[in-house]
């Protein structure tokens, strides 16, 4: 017998802004009952062209201009027009208030899904996960990008578009190596940046006439030059290449240092998103599924609404097989959602296997367990802690060793107690940023000699650098202004290779 739904908020796919407000109010009330803590929401409805534009500018509502954004826009637009790809139903910004873009072509069920997914799922993750709390300034990012856009526009007017683009190109090539993993950055503030920018320019102006006076005299060179050359600078290797370039590049002008700083701040802003893709998408997907099902259980939406929502949800969490044309690795939506849902199952309906693997989760309040995991983990540690044997079987996961010095593949982990632990450990390592991004550090700056810069690539399991390494070093040499050397270092063999790039004139 079909339940009579007298409280249904709407029927069909049509929507207007009043209806959006109604759904947002109802979804927000249910989210509050579940304990979701969010920033205030700012919901904006945009056209497909605007969504393509947002794609191109790395998802921020405002950014500086650069040719790569235009190239990305054209590429996405052509694929979209030809039907080769679809557009996301939404785009959400880690800001305070949290900005969520909804596509105007969405039906009402899709708009509700987006509101639940972005405005209460992603929003609560942005606000409460420890990486976002430590490394981003949600309340300042929009103002900071307004400042950055204005400053780079002024530089283009004063120094020329080509020179500014060349500087930004070089910075973009080094963005993955422009973050601090251990030192917490200072909070973003457009006002403080403008003041610091003025002070830096004023300091450079005052020091200009003193340059020749500070050069060492011949007698000084003879007496203590040899001793100074023995001291390596920096004393410890530095992993944040953009920060080191900003502070110590011998050739950069003041305005170029500011652009390096802007790109470095942008790289730091996106750093947590790189480490939490599975968790962030899994959390948001779990909550749109939970919130909208709760609305259905309370009679606020009808069967047609839920059929459309569940069809979209199923497409999002589908995990293609390895031999499927759409396969591109593990779908973060699929793995993240499955793990969130599985944690709830372990808390509410554990079996003997769950009790053996997760004794601390059994009979706990699932909301508290999920909230703790969301706040305190990243993808690598989340998978290592919570991936269950049940999901390992459902995803058909096992481990195969492919060692280049051996002629045969070896199955190293299967579906037994030790195998589950090994699969979980090895899968979690694939989400370790140190595995994904080459470990390249500044090893030595010859500031007393030819001003060359020596970097070291700490080779992992004998992995070589790709052919792009030399091109990236050329970008680095443009910012540095002098010779740049990359040493390939192996713990067992020492320095096994060197790549040398001279500055481009």
498 near 192, Cβ under 8 Å?
no
Which residues are 484's β-sheet partners?
453, 501
Torsion of CA 445, 446, 447, 450, to 10 degrees: -130
**pLDDT in single tens digits along all 505 residues of the chain:** 345 556 899 999 999 999 999 999 999 999 999 999 999 999 999 887 777 666 555 556 667 666 565 555 455 555 545 443 444 556 888 999 999 989 888 999 999 999 999 999 999 999 999 999 988 888 888 888 889 989 999 999 999 999 999 999 999 999 999 998 776 666 666 666 666 566 656 555 554 444 444 545 444 444 444 444 457 889 999 999 999 999 999 999 999 999 999 999 999 998 999 999 999 999 999 999 999 999 999 999 999 999 999 999 999 999 998 888 888 899 999 999 999 999 999 999 999 999 999 999 999 999 999 999 999 999 999 999 999 999 999 999 988 887 777 778 888 878 888 888 999 999 999 999 878 888 999 999 998 889 999 999 998 877 888 888 889 999 999 999 999 999 999 888 889 989 999 887 6
Largest CA distance in the chain: 100
> How many Å apart are CA 234 and CA 440, to the nearest integer?
15
Domain spans of the chain, in order of start: 1-203+232-317, 329-435, 440-501
Q: Using alpha carbons only, what angle is made at residue 173 by residues 169 and 175, rounded to the nearest 5 degrees?
A: 110
| Residue 375 backbone phi and psi in degrees, to 5 | -75, -30
Give yes or no for a contact between 339 and 282, defined as CB atoms under 8 angstroms apart: yes
Q: Which residues of 201-234 are buried (b: 16+ CB within 10 A; e: fewer)?
A: eeeeeeeeeeeeeeeeeeeeeeeeeeeeeeeeee
Angle formed at CA 66 by CA 63 and CA 67, multiple of 5 degrees: 145
Buried b (16+ CB within 10 A) or exposed e, 43-76: bebbeeeebbbbbbbebbbebbebeebeebbeeb
> What does the pLDDT read at residue 230?
54
Secondary element (H or E) of residue 498: strand 494-501
Question: Which three-class secondary structure string do you get for 172-234?
Answer: HHCHHHCCCCCCCCCCCCHHHHHHHHHHHHHHHHHHHCCCHHHCCCHHHHHHHHHHHHCCCCC
């Amino acid at each position: 017998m079909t339940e009579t739904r007298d409280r249904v908020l709407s029927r069909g796919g049509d929507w207007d802004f009043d209806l959006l407000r109604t759904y947002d109010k109802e979804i927000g009330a249910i989210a509050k009952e579940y304990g979701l803590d969010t920033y205030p929401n700012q919901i904006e409805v945009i056209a497909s062209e605007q969504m393509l534009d947002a794609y191109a500018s790395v998802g921020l509502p405002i950014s500086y201009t650069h040719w790569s954004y235009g190239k990305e826009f054209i590429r996405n637009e052509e694929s979209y027009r030809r039907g080769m790809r679809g557009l996301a139903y939404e785009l959400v910004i880690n800001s305070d208030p949290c900005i969520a873009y909804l596509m105007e072509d969405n039906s009402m069920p899709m708009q509700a899904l987006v509101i639940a997914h972005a405005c209460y799922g992603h929003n609560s993750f942005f606000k409460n996960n420890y990486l976002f709390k430590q490394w981003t300034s949600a309340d300042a990012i929009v103002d900071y990008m307004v400042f950055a856009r204005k400053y780079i526009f002024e530089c283009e007017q004063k120094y020329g578009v080509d020179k500014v683009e060349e500087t930004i190109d070089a910075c973009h090539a080094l963005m993955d190596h422009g973050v601090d993993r251990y030192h917490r950055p200072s909070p973003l503030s457009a006002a403080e940046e403008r003041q610091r920018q003025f002070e830096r320019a004023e300091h450079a102006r005052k020091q200009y006439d003193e340059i020749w006076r500070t050069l060492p005299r011949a007698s000084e060179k003879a007496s203590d030059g040899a001793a100074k050359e023995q001291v390596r600078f920096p004393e410890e290797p530095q992993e944040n290449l953009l920060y080191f370039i900003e502070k110590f590049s011998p050739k950069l002008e003041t305005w170029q240092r500011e652009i390096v700083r802007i790109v470095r701040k942008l790289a730091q802003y996106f750093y947590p998103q790189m480490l939490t893709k599975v968790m962030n998408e899994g959390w948001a997907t779990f909550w749109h599924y939970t919130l909208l099902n709760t609305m259905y259980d309370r009679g606020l939406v009808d069967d047609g609404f839920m059929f459309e929502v569940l069809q979209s949800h199923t497409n999002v969490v589908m995990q293609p097989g390895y031999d499927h044309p759409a396969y591109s690795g593990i779908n973060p939506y699929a793995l993240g959602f499955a793990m969130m849902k599985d944690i709830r199952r372990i808390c509410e309906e554990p079996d003997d296997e769950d009790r053996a693997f997760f004794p601390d989760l059994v009979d706990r309040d699932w909301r508290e367990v999920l909230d703790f995991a969301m706040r305190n983990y990243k993808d690598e540690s989340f998978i290592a802690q919570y991936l269950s044997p049940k999901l390992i079987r459902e995803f058909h996961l096992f481990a195969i060793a492919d060692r280049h010095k051996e002629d045969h593949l070896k199955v190293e982990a299967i579906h037994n107690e030790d195998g589950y632990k090994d699969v979980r450990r090895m899968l979690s390592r694939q989400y370790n940023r140190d595995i994904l991004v080459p470990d390249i550090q500044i090893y030595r700056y010859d500031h007393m000699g030819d001003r060359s810069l020596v970097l070291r690539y700490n080779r992992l399991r004998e992995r070589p650098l790709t052919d792009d390494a030399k091109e990236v070093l050329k970008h680095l040499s443009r910012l540095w202004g002098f010779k740049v050397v990359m040493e390939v270092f192996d713990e067992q063999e020492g320095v096994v290779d060197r790549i040398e790039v001279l500055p481009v004139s």
